[in-house]
Structure formats: structure tokens, C-alpha cells
Amino acid sequence: MTFTRQELQSLRNQFPVLHQQVNGRDLVYFDNAATSQKPQRVIDCVNHYYSKYNSNIHRGAHSLAAKATDAYEASRQVIADYINAPYETINFVRGVTEGINLVANTWGEANLQEGDEILLTQMEHHANIVPWQMIAERKGAIIKVLPISIDGEWDCSNLNEYINSKTKIVAFNAVSNALGTINPIHLLVDAAHAVGAITVVDGAQSAPHQTIDVDQWNVDFFTFGGHKMYGPTGIGILYGKKELLENMPPWQGGGEMIREVDFAGTTYNDLPFKFEAGTPNIAGVIGLGEAVRFLKETDVSRIATHEVHLLRLAEEGCQTIEGFEIYGKSTNKAGVLSFLIDGCHAYDLGVLLDKMGIATRTGHHCCQPLMKYYGVEGTCRVSFAAYNTEEEVEAFINGLKRAVQMLRG
């Protein structure tokens, strides 16, 4: 069920950045796949930490340190509950990029051997390509790539050609940031586990748009960042199955990840602290916990329904534009519309839309191999969030038509 007009207005009132003009026009923010806006409660939560109980965590005996520690660990618990994971399996990282790098440099470093294979898919973000290329080069492993269909869906017709006894890691996104495709996670998870491989799931785009259940999905690692799901930048989590995390070496050394240090040697801390070296982004963690509470209270399934409703309206309205072409035509999509228009460069469209107060994203969306597959340099992308409206979609369609008219003369 989508939101009523009253519910949607109440939602929008929680986001202060939305209530402004850009280039003399009311802001229409359609760049949510890059980063979402923050509700006042998240902003207040971060400000409250800095203004009322700013302190380092875990190590202090004083009241402010105890209060900060309690808030920090309460966020870990609310996030664990949100994705149906044990508390000790939630590791705080800067975001998805760091989460994937952590796995590559710990599990990958300890387990990969020459000739082993790592399977990626053709729709991956650079953050889920480059770390695997780096570890593969060091260890002599081989990168394989699962192709996709022209509609932007995994081509699993010959999966046994890509997943076999040599496969050790299968890494993929749950939702494509460039196409909006919601991927059938279980297909690759089941195939990977059948040959003893682990799965690493980029959840950057799924966290704000899907109900996440890492236990039901049976994924080995799952990572997401806060800033795409109404939380602060520079904070995210890496979930890993407990037995895997316990057997992985630490990635970074320093405070908190240790139990005892001596010049003769060091013993490492228990989970979840083993992979959290140094003073963390305390305010970011507390803010991320509040963002997750916001998502739970708002109901992520209703948010997703609302976003898909807006997507369908946008697709229908844009189809009337001559030369309009959608990239990503899966029947199961999140609220992402990636497109090109004949005779109009994506960047030019983005600049003209910005002049009308409409924020979009243009370029390759950190998916250059995917763009190469489609034979384009990049696309124009609009992406929706809980606070977007039908009126904004109408403004976008009208603005796009005007931009096309201007570019075509």
C-alpha cells in the first residue's frame, strides 16, 4: 500500500533540505541512489551526541563515556534486529566499499590460492569489482563475470559454466544502482554454497528499498552504507556469519580490536570488536541507528511500494518522448529509472534539469563495464525515495520534455 497524501506530507515535513528552492524553483530531489536526504530526527540525534554527551566509547569510566557507549551499542543492536542477524556479527565500517575491501583483505587473503576463481556479475559497481581484482592479482586468482540479458537481469542459463569446484567467492549486488534490477539472491547463494564458495552481497541499494533477512537469505557477507538509507555519510556495516568472522584475521590493528598487547605478541578481541580498530565514527553509528529506526517505523515495504508507483508514473510519462530509451527493463525493479534520449547527451539533460530545480544523476554511475556492455558512455538516472511525490514526477516529465525541446532546437 502506497502512502496517503497526508502521510506523504508528514514524511516530507521531516526532511528540512527538501523545503528550499534551487535556481529559483522548488527542489525536486531525484538523486537518492547516490545519497538520500536525512530526516530531522537523524540530524538531531547526531547533534545531540556532539552537544550533550560527546565522549569516546568503551574505555572511559565516566558518565559521558558510558552514555556514548550505550548509544553506540544500542545502534548495533537495532541494526542487527533490522537485518535479522546476531548482535556480534555486525561490524561497523565506513560503507560498502570498505566492507567489501575488508572481506577481500581478510577472508580472501587467508583462503584464496592460485587458480581459484571469483565470480562477479556484469552489473557490479566498481566497489564490487576493484577490490576483487586487487586480491586476485596478489593471489593469482581468476575473475569470472556472469553475463546479463539486454533487459538487465542475470543470465543464469549456463550457471555451471561460471560456478564450479574452483569458485571460492561469488560477489554481487542485491539491487543494481544503475538499472534498478532487484536480483534473485537465492540463485547465486544456492549455487555458490553447492560448491563450497562464499557469497559477498553489496546491499547498498537494497537497504533502503527491501526488507533484509540475512538469515533467510543465507548470505555469508552482507554490507550496506548509511547515507543511502536516510543516515549519515561515512558509516555502514558489514555482516558476516559468525564462524567466518571468527576464523578471519584482523584487517587493521590498533585500539579496541585487541584483548592484550605485549611486544612479544598480541591477542585479538572477540566479535564484534575484532574488526573495529581505533576510535570509530561514533556520531555516525548513532545516527545510522536512528535512520534504521526511522525505516522500521515508516515501513520499508510501504516505502518500496510507493517508490515503484512513482517509477511506473515516470516510465509512462517519459515514453511519450521520441527517442526515449530505458536501460534496465527487468519486471522486478526498485525505484530507479536510467535512460537516454536520442540526440540529447545525458550530461546536457542533467544540467538543464538542474536549472529547473530537478536533481538527477548523469554518467556511468560507477558501472563502466555495464555501460560498455550497453555501448553507451553513461545514462541519465532518476531515483526515488520515501519523500518523493507524484507532483514531483510530473514536474520532472515536463522539465525533461522542455530540456529535449531546447537541445533539439
Residues 14-38 have pLDDT tens digits of 999 999 999 999 999 999 999 999 9
Residue type, 7: E
Contacts of 351 (CB under 8 A, 6+ apart): none
The C-alpha cell at 235 is: 558509516
How far is Cα 282 from Cα 303, in angstroms, rounded to an integer? 28
Mean pLDDT of 133-138: 98
Residue 6: the pLDDT is 96
Residue 60: the pLDDT is 78
Residue 298: the pLDDT is 97
How far is Cα 268 from Cα 162, in angstroms, rounded to an integer? 37
Residue 195: the pLDDT is 98
pLDDT tier, 257 (very low <50, low <70, confident <90, very high otherwise): confident
Residue 244: the pLDDT is 98
Give 49-94 pLDDT, tens digit per residue: 999 999 999 977 899 999 999 999 999 999 999 999 999 999 999 9
Q: Which domains does the chain have, with CATH numbers?
A: 5-30+300-408 (3.90.1150.10), 43-296 (3.40.640.10)
Q: Which pTM does this prediction carry?
A: 0.96
Give 113-127 pLDDT, tens digit per residue: 999 999 999 999 999
**What kind and span of H or E run contains 276?**
none
Q: Is residue 10 classed as helix, strand or coil in its secondary structure?
A: helix
How far is Cα 171 from Cα 240, in angstroms, rounded to an integer? 13
Mean pLDDT of 208-229: 97
Q: Are strands 221-225 and 236-240 parallel, antiparallel or unpaired?
A: antiparallel
How far is Cα 327 from Cα 340, in angstroms, rounded to an integer? 8
Residue 360: the pLDDT is 98
Residue 404 pLDDT greater than 90, yes or no: yes
Contacts of 365 (CB under 8 A, 6+ apart): 33, 125, 177, 178, 338, 371, 378, 379, 381
- Evaluate the CA torsion angle 201, 202, 205, 208 in order and state its sign: positive
Residue 262: the pLDDT is 87
Catalytic residue among 45, 318, 344, 366: 366
Confirm if 113 and 107 have CB atoms less than 8 A apart: no
Identify whether 156 is a catalytic site residue. Answer: no
- Evaluate the CA torsion angle 105, 109, 115, 118 in order and state its sign: negative
Confirm if 373 and 43 have CB atoms less than 8 A apart: no
Give 295-325 pLDDT, tens digit per residue: 999 999 999 999 999 999 999 999 999 999 9
- Evaluate the CA torsion angle 297, 178, 156, 219 in order and state its sign: negative
The C-alpha cell at 361 is: 544523476
Q: How far is CA 373 from CA 124, 128, 266, 334, in A?
A: 12, 17, 48, 21
